[in-house]
Structure 1
Amino acid sequence: MKLLLITDIHGDTENLERIIERENYNAVLCAGDLSDANEFDDYKAQLDKVLDVFEKQGVMTKAVPGNMDPEEECVRELIQRRMNIHKKIASFEDFEAVGFGGGITPFGTPFEPEGAKIKNAMETLYDRMKADRKFGVIHQPPVDSQLDMADGDHVGSQEVREIIEDKKFELILTGHIHESRGRDEISETTVVNPGPVMEGYYAIADTKGEIDVEMKQL
């Protein structure tokens, strides 16, 4: 099974459409910042445009809100489109996935959950998963990794790192820190920030056998 891994769209439907037209895949996981409440006067209208693009592709898509997505408003629309994985479990062909959105910043953005809240929810969801292969979608990256560097400092979440170290996820998709595109291996878990869609970045994961992730750009 091939997965399109994306994050940080920030309402950029043009790049999203170009990525979708370019690649062949069976499902999509998105780690948030679908629209951008600080960028668009009508957040929901731009969110709808992004979700319309997803609907047109005709494959299973699951997403969490990012810190620029007001939690309640974004999740409501995702639920209506059957795309929500925030605080939920989703079953795919050969794995299950769980997710939690939002991320901490110094700027007081719309959705900034406490780390303990992320950890408690993800641990509860993990314990309910039944599949042997378990994936996670978390907007906030783990601290002290290759995916959380901003202006030379590690700015990720300690609690997200603890989730990865304590549980046996095969893959974690993250985002949030635009300048920390890349992948890391933490406690036998592959952790990927494919980079922001708004800058033309994404990744393709092949789940056949041992997971293989290819970082790509337009």
Structure 2
Amino acid sequence: MRLFAIADPHGNYSKIEELLRIAGKVDVVLIAGDITNFGPDEKALELFSMFDQQVLAVPGNCDQRSIIELIGESSATDLHGRSVTIEGVRFIGMGGSNPTPFCTPFEIQECDYEESLGNVTEQEGIDNEPLVILTHAPPFGILDNVGNEHVGCKVLNTFLDKADLMVCGHIHEARGIVTSGKTTVVNPGMAALGFAAVIDLDISADEPDVDVTLIEAGEKI
């Protein structure tokens, strides 16, 4: 399964078509939040219309909370606090972010993160399928540096070494790939600036294999 992952387009979708051409054949699109730049919600429909593939999306802290309803009624799949299984792979999502100093529209307390994700995992179970976490915020201590400070979400750390892949965004300057236990954590970079990631997920073996390539508009994969 080939995944096309983007984060933080902030309403600027001018690089998406080029990034898709670079990515080649894609099976599923992952959108890790900040789809708009503080709205309007309807702007997201422009982005979703660019894809023929199944789109899984979560909102970011710079999206209005009302965007959840729009995603649910669109061609995309709202993954905020939910899960879906595609071709034997379980996808679980969580949007918004843990609190920031900026009082952005979609911020969530750590305890509410824990409750929401706990409800999903208890209802669905995460032990028997390859697992992908799609989240706007990064886990604490991984791809979450702002200056010398870690600003990630501590609740997400409970998935490290359980999930096979975690795709996040939020911290624009933290583009990269980090492995923690069996979990590959990817921040594809700010899509508004022409960054994305192509992720090949092979579940044919006993242990899923995750191969990530960071791509940039203007380059070839």
Q: TM-score, normalised by structure 2?
A: 0.88
The residue that corresponds to 2:184 in the other structure is: 190
**Aligned counterpart for 1:208 among listed residues 195, 202, 206:** 202
**1:52-91 alignment runs, 5 A limit:** 52-53=49-50, 57-71=51-65, 73-81=66-74, 82-91=76-85
The residue that corresponds to 2:37 in the other structure is: 36
1:132-172 alpha-carbon deviations (Å, 9 max, x no partner)? 10111111111112x001123211122222x224x711111
Equivalent AA in structure 2 for residue 121 of structure 1 = S
What's the offset of the Cα at 1:63?
A: 0.4
CA distance in 1, matches of 2:212, 2:110: 27
Structure number with higher strand proportion:
2
The residue that corresponds to 2:90 in the other structure is: 96
1:89-136 alpha-carbon deviations (Å, 9 max, x no partner)? 111113010101001321000000111211222232123146510111
Partner-residue secondary structure (3-state), 1:96: strand
**Aligned counterpart for 1:118 among listed residues 106, 113, 126:** 113
Partner-residue secondary structure (3-state), 1:76: helix
* TM superposition outliers: structure 1 runs of 4+ over 3 Å: none
Identity of aligned residues (%): 29
**1:39-50 alignment runs, 5 A limit:** 43-50=40-47
Contact 2:168 2:187 in 1 (8 A): yes
Q: TM-score, normalised by structure 1?
A: 0.89
Q: Which runs of 5+ in 1 are unaligned?
A: none
Equivalent AA in structure 1 for residue 46 of structure 2 = K
CA distance in 2, matches of 1:214, 1:48: 27
The residue that corresponds to 2:206 in the other structure is: none
Partner-residue secondary structure (3-state), 1:216: strand
What's the offset of the Cα at 1:188?
A: 1.8
CA distance in 1, matches of 2:199, 2:162: 18
CA distance in 1, matches of 2:41, 2:129: 37
CA distance in 1, matches of 2:215, 2:42: 28
What's the offset of the Cα at 1:87?
A: 1.0
Structure number with higher helix proportion:
1
CA distance in 2, matches of 1:102, 1:184: 22
Q: Which runs of 5+ in 2 are unaligned?
A: 204-208
**Aligned counterpart for 2:144 among listed residues 144, 148, 151:** 148
CA distance in 2, matches of 1:11, 1:215: 21
- Aligned residue pairs total 207
